[in-house]
Amino acid sequence: MRTLGFVGTAKNTGKTTAAVHVLELVRAAGLTTALTSIGFDGESTDHITGLPKPRYQAAPGMLVATADSLLDYGSADFDRTEPTGLQTILGEIVIARVSRPGTVALAGPNRRLDLRRLLDRLAAVQVDLTLVDGALNRLAALSLADGLVLSTGAAFDERIEVIAAHAAAMESLFHLPRSSDWTENAPSLVCLRQENGRLIQLSTSSVLDEGSLSSLLSQLTPGADAACFIPGVFSPTLFQTMVQKFPDRVAGKRFTFTSPVHLLASGKPEIWQSALETLSAAGGAAGYQAALPLCFLTVNPFFPRYLQKTGAYVAEYVDKQQLLHSVQARITRTPVVDILQPPHPDLLALCQITPKN
């Protein structure tokens, strides 16, 4: 089973539109599909802006993993439901099979551990492809996916150059190599393996404050090569401080992070991009324990504008052509599309999905 995750750089950047479009293609390709969300998706209007939102349309035979309280929320009917024992705020997650097509509301596993359990169950029932709807700023759980589709747009920032720079920084993080330093059974705490094979372990999984950065720095010996593993998160600001202030200590060090989403979850991609360039210039390197391909990137010219006088939001748009071309100009290694501006390249092929019919 393949798992495809959909993430957005902000609300209203077109994540659901992209997912709904891919779902349409997958249905035509004859694959058994499951749909879930690591957040909540199901309203026809956004609960903050009040503006219309796209809804997931489920076809007969498709599986939906969602909180039991939401089964009656959409217009789809289900003929078989199976409990999973996984709990969310909105109730227990059930795997339900669609018998009558219609809209569905999704609230699935909200943490990585639960998503893994759910994906294991879906794989066991011969699902070919699971689409996971992401949520605002929530990437960590999607490290379990086989590929990601990233959506950005004017809802993230109304300045096209800012959108493009941010998207390019994010995209760049997906191209670090897979590291050969740490095997699948990597430790759960920050570790340093010295050239002589000696393993030093810190007391934390992550580096998020000065204290833990100092602990790490004290183990980075200048002039010696070493492999460092960060199982959790690393604040990009602290990482940048480290590589800028202590180039001698990071020289010859190979930093392995769990996945690109662990970097993205830690903070601003622009800071990562610049810090990693500095690291490289200082003679250090970075890679991932597990690579995660970015299949393609979507851009969306829409943004909600808040009107102070009426307290309401209205739909507005930046120049869609200019947005698409600006982002495409900055990102050359990953296809960039606007779902509402066809033609598109073969999106299924980009997601490494092979049609059955």
Contacts of 137 (CB under 8 A, 6+ apart): none
* Least distance from another protein to the Cβ atom of residue 120, Å: 16
Tokens of 288: 């991932």
The nearer residue to another protein, 86 or 299, going by C-beta atoms, is 86
CB under 8 A, 24+ apart: contacts of 319-326: 319/160, 322/160, 323/153, 323/154, 323/160, 323/163, 323/299, 324/299, 326/160, 326/161, 326/163, 326/164
The nearer residue to another protein, 98 or 139, going by C-beta atoms, is 139
* Least distance from another protein to the Cβ atom of residue 130, Å: 18
* Least distance from another protein to the Cβ atom of residue 173, Å: 14
Q: By CB under 8 A, name the binding residues for another protein.
A: 10-11, 38-41, 43, 47-48, 67, 87-92, 107, 110-113, 135-141, 143, 188, 203-206, 208-209, 211-212, 231-233, 235, 258, 261-262, 265-267
* CA nearest neighbour of 37 among 128, 104, 120: 104
* Least distance from another protein to the Cβ atom of residue 41, Å: 8
* Least distance from another protein to the Cβ atom of residue 151, Å: 16
The nearer residue to another protein, 36 or 326, going by C-beta atoms, is 36
The nearer residue to another protein, 43 or 79, going by C-beta atoms, is 43
The nearer residue to another protein, 39 or 102, going by C-beta atoms, is 39
The nearer residue to another protein, 87 or 352, going by C-beta atoms, is 87
Tokens of 345: 């390249």
CB 2 within 8 A of CB 130: yes
CA pair distance 64, 35, nearest whole angstrom: 5
* Least distance from another protein to the Cβ atom of residue 243, Å: 18
CA pair distance 48, 313, nearest whole angstrom: 9
Find the Cα–Cα–Cα–Cα dihedral 271, 277, 279, 282, rounded to 10°. Answer: -140
CA pair distance 296, 85, nearest whole angstrom: 34
